[in-house]
Amino acid sequence: MTQTAAEIATILIWGFAATATLSAVMFGAQRLGYSRLSIPFLIGTMFTGERSGAHALGLVFYLLGGWLFAFIYYFIFASIGRTGWELGLLIGSIHGLVLLVMMLPLLPYVHPRMASEYEGPIRGRRLQPPGFLALNYGYRTPLTTIVAHALYGLILGARLALT
Amino acid sequence: MEVPGDFPDVGDYAVIGNCRTAALVSNRGSVEWMCAPTFSDASIFGAILDRDAGHFSIAPGEDATVSRAYIAATNVLQTAFTTPGGVLRLTDCLVLPDERIPELYPEHELLRRVECASGEVEVEVSFAPRWDYGRRRPRYAKRGALGWQCLDCSFGAILRSEIDLAEDKPRARLAGKVRLKAGEARWLSFAYDEADASVIVPFGEDAGARLQSTVAWWKNWSTRCSYQGPYRDEVLRSALVLKLLNCATSGAVLAAPTTSLPEVSGGPRNWDYRYCWIRDSALVLHAFLRLGYHEEAEGFLEWLLHATRLTWQRFQVMYDLYGEVKLDEKILPFLGGYRGAKPVRIGNAAHDQLQLDIYGELMATVSHYVEAGGTLDTVEAAMLAGVGRHVMKLWRLPDQGIWETRREPRMHTFSKAMCWVALDRLGRLADKFAVPIDRKHVAAECDAIRAEIEDKGYDEALGSYVAYYGGKETDASLLLLARYGYRDPGSPRMAGTWDYIAKTLCDNGLIHRYRDDTGYDGFAEPENAFAPCNFWAAEYLANAGRYDEAQQLFERLCRLANDVGLFAEEIGTRTGKPVGNFPQAFTHVSLISAATALYQRKTA
């Protein structure tokens, strides 16, 4: 195996582990009633209005997204010139914050099934928008989201090595 | 906020449901019991147990006379309020959406439509959920055109209303009123999702379609009822209650959707019935088979074999919807109880009692299932063999009996007879399937049980079977000895038992399950007539060939249902009104059983 192939394999393996951890924390927060933010569900409902199908489809996209972000993290580490769990934790936390502050609030404009507070629900657009910091999905949502993403970054920071 | 007025009678409620949770709606238009997300979770509307434990009312602002009915063959309720100004019609349902349409729907939706049918009527709305059995009050956040989000709960709950509502902070409720003219209607929808982002549904045609799909779902289910005998309306209403209590996600059947509605006003016999009793459920399964609902019967049998694996070979008396075995009893001291009947309990301490009759009921039901064309695989046959061996070990022990007495165990005659039924049916099953059991040993044990019952469970002087060995008291469950084939209904011993029961347990034309002045169940307080026993009496009389007596009794009992055909656990001996947890599967299944016995006797 070449060095590049080994590096890609490492990113894929630890990208998967980090995504699984992130998902476990987010899913646990849902089941414990701390938050109702399910990114796989939000992704899946972009493609189908069938609830269980949306969960399954969303999970596939979410896993692929987790791998994609593992590569992005790797390039960020490379551009900084170092790795480490502390750096991963910091980047992960920023990632979670960006998701909450910038990405999720934009969702109503791009999600075909998301309702708007101005127009109300209409046929085909019925999902409640996340609102500021996704607080519509529970007041602990910002906390659980940042913790989950911080863990994602921590795992990648700790396990990815630069050559 | 206190619900205006005092507690309604239990019979003033009607039930609606979606096979995952149920709501009791009073004849004043107020939802006063509903657990969320599902049957066995904490209540969010609990005014039936404490006037400040949550309600959702829609009612005219002036005095009204009320009439109500279910839309035919459905669990969709319509209440008509006739006021001096006009007539207001309220339609309530828990939505069952048309899943063929690939749309997002909330996991649960309580949909309410209020319409002025004539004249002009002011409508008042008060929405006051209380989380965790009334422990916590909610806050509300207005989400623009999406409605009001209820905060501080673990699921996403949203109220939408076509009537303008405002927050009444001191009372932690949303309230509003509107004057409707003839032909005008308004929708209100309380929807919640357990773990995902909330799905918010539109009103207008869309809401009408959801109501229609709910009506169609129930009607479609009702058309599968194969019963064509007399009293079909009563039988179908009972079947609809059973289906409503049949949890769609597990197959389990609840005994009742409520807790702690007292067996006697102000008394201490207040139990949580939101569980699946093996006994009741076996009878429900049998009823489903009789009415042609094989899918429900198979679903329940699967649940039964799955749920009981944790305790196999021993059966627990009851399990929760998903087979959970720890049902520790707790008291909720902050709830005042229905008309002051304290304590309010959740959980049920009877779950770990020894009640030997459940083995017989289960085995009889499996036997009916097989007679109706069902089959058993080798794993199921092995499980039943294990149960049979367990019965052969246990049957000599004293137990708490069918009535879950809270006193020392006794040698209950009915329990012994049901052990006989268990082994008798096991022997019959072994004739058809490869049940790994020693047939001779089973037959010998059957003979031994019967000999002991005839020796110790029958009193020659009284000419009757008795409730427990050596006692002089009787017990209405002994009427079931004929149903289960232990004794021919026309035999002198059964006839004598019926006479003794009629003589000692009948009060004001209604049969009690046992004498309540002897401390039979460990309580000194009197109780009302246990409704299922009265249907058992009708069934016994029909099977004994006393058709006219059976018919008269059955028809009199049917008249004691509430205005929408529902029964509670008991019937007030003096009032004739429903008393106790409501509506009660055990009573409705007994009604079905009695009606089918009458039908069979008539056609025979």
Q: Do the Cβ atoms of A121 and B196 come within 8 Å?
A: no
The answer as to whether B188 is a domain residue is: yes
Closest CB to B146 among A38, A113, A115: A115
What mean pLDDT value characterizes chain B?
Answer: 92
* DSSP per position, B388-454: HHHHHHHTTS-B-TTTT-SSS-B-BHHHHHHHHHHHHHHHHHHHHS---S-HHHHHHHHHHHHHHHH
The pLDDT of A66-75, averaged and rounded, is: 96
In the numeric block, the tokens 């507070």 are attached to A117
Q: Which residues in A lie closer than 8 A to residue B198 (C-beta atoms)?
A: 36, 127-128, 136
The pLDDT of B259-264, averaged and rounded, is: 90
Weakest-pLDDT range from B181-195, B252-266, B510-524 = B510-524
Which residue from A minimizes the CA distance to B204? A122
Q: How confident is the model at residue B2 (pLDDT cuts 50, 70, 90)?
A: very low
Q: pLDDT tens for residues B104-161?
A: 999 999 999 999 999 999 999 999 999 999 999 999 999 999 999 999 888 899 999 9
The answer to whether the beta carbons of residues B388 and B437 sit under 8 Å apart is: yes
The answer as to whether B251 is a domain residue is: no
For residue A154, the cross-strand partners are none
* B202 in A contact zone (CB under 8 Å): yes
Dig out the tokens for A1 from the structure: 């195996």
Nearest to B99 by CA among B210, B205, B208: B210
Question: How much is the pLDDT for B5?
Answer: 66
Closest CB to A49 among B104, B145, B196: B104
H or E segment at B278? helix B278-291
Q: What is the CATH number of the domain that holds B87?
A: 2.70.98
The answer as to whether B496 is a domain residue is: no
The pLDDT of A76-104, averaged and rounded, is: 95
Counting beta carbons within 10 angstroms of the beta carbon of residue A94, is it exposed (0 to 12), middle (13 to 18) or buried (19 or more)?
A: middle
The answer as to whether B459 is a domain residue is: no
Q: How confident is the model at residue B312 (pLDDT cuts 50, 70, 90)?
A: confident
The answer as to whether B327 is a domain residue is: no
Higher pLDDT, B302 or B390: B390
Q: Do the Cβ atoms of B200 and A115 come within 8 Å?
A: yes
Question: How much is the pLDDT for B3?
Answer: 52
- Determine if the peptide bond prior to B106 is cis (ω within 30°): no
Q: pLDDT tens for residues B28-73?
A: 999 999 999 999 899 999 999 999 999 999 999 999 999 999 999 9
Using only C-alpha atoms, what is the Rg of chain A? Answer: 17
The pLDDT of B183-205, averaged and rounded, is: 95
Dig out the tokens for A148 from the structure: 């989950």
Question: How much is the pLDDT for B1?
Answer: 40
Nearest to A160 by CA among A83, A100, A108, A75: A83
Q: Do the Cβ atoms of B156 and A128 come within 8 Å?
A: yes
Ramachandran area for residue B112 (φ above 0: left; ψ -120 to 50: alpha; else beta):
beta
The answer as to whether B398 is a domain residue is: no
Question: How much is the pLDDT for B527?
Answer: 82
Q: Residues 25..44 of A with a Cβ closer than 8 Å to B: which?
A: 30-33, 36-38, 41-42
H or E segment at B114? strand B108-128
**B281 phi and psi angles, rounded to 5 deg:** -70, -35
Angle among Cα B225, B231, B232 to the nearest 5 degrees reads 20
The answer as to whether B246 is a domain residue is: no
Q: pLDDT tens for residues A5-55?
A: 888 999 999 999 999 999 999 999 999 989 999 999 999 999 999 888 999
Q: Is the pLDDT of residue B205 over 50?
A: yes
Counting beta carbons within 10 angstroms of the beta carbon of residue B252, is it exposed (0 to 12), middle (13 to 18) or buried (19 or more)?
A: buried
Dig out the tokens for B198 from the structure: 């909330």
Q: Residues 65..84 of A with a Cβ closer than 8 Å to B: which?
A: none
Higher pLDDT, B316 or B575: B575
Higher pLDDT, B587 or B286: B587
Residue type, B262: P
The dihedral of CA B278, B282, B288, B292: what is its sign?
positive
Question: pTM of the entire structure?
Answer: 0.92
Q: How confident is the model at residue B303 (pLDDT cuts 50, 70, 90)?
A: confident
Residue-range definition of the domain harbouring residue B167 = 10-221
Q: How many interchain CB pairs under 8 A, A with B? A: 88
Closest CB to A30 among B102, B103, B195: B195
Q: pLDDT tens for residues B320-360?
A: 888 887 888 999 999 999 999 989 999 988 777 889 999 99
- DSSP annotation of A16: H
The answer to whether the beta carbons of residues B536 and B530 sit under 8 Å apart is: no
Q: ipTM score of the complex? A: 0.89
How many angstroms separate the CA of residue B82 from the nearest CA in chain A? 34
The pLDDT of B480-504, averaged and rounded, is: 95
Inter-axis angle of helices B531-543 and B492-505, to 10 degrees?
150
CA distance B409 to B397: 9
The answer to whether the beta carbons of residues A135 and B152 sit under 8 Å apart is: no
* B249 in A contact zone (CB under 8 Å): no
Q: Do the Cβ atoms of A124 and B103 come within 8 Å?
A: yes
Dig out the tokens for B91 from the structure: 């339609």
Residue type, B517: D
CA distance B145 to A118: 6
Structural domain count of chain B: 1
Q: Do the Cβ atoms of B199 and A127 come within 8 Å?
A: yes
The answer as to whether B126 is a domain residue is: yes
* DSSP per position, B481-506: HHHTTSS-TTSHHHHHHHHHHHHHHE
The pLDDT of B436-453, averaged and rounded, is: 94
Q: Which residues in A lie closer than 8 A to residue B154 (C-beta atoms)?
A: 32-33
Higher pLDDT, A22 or B311: A22
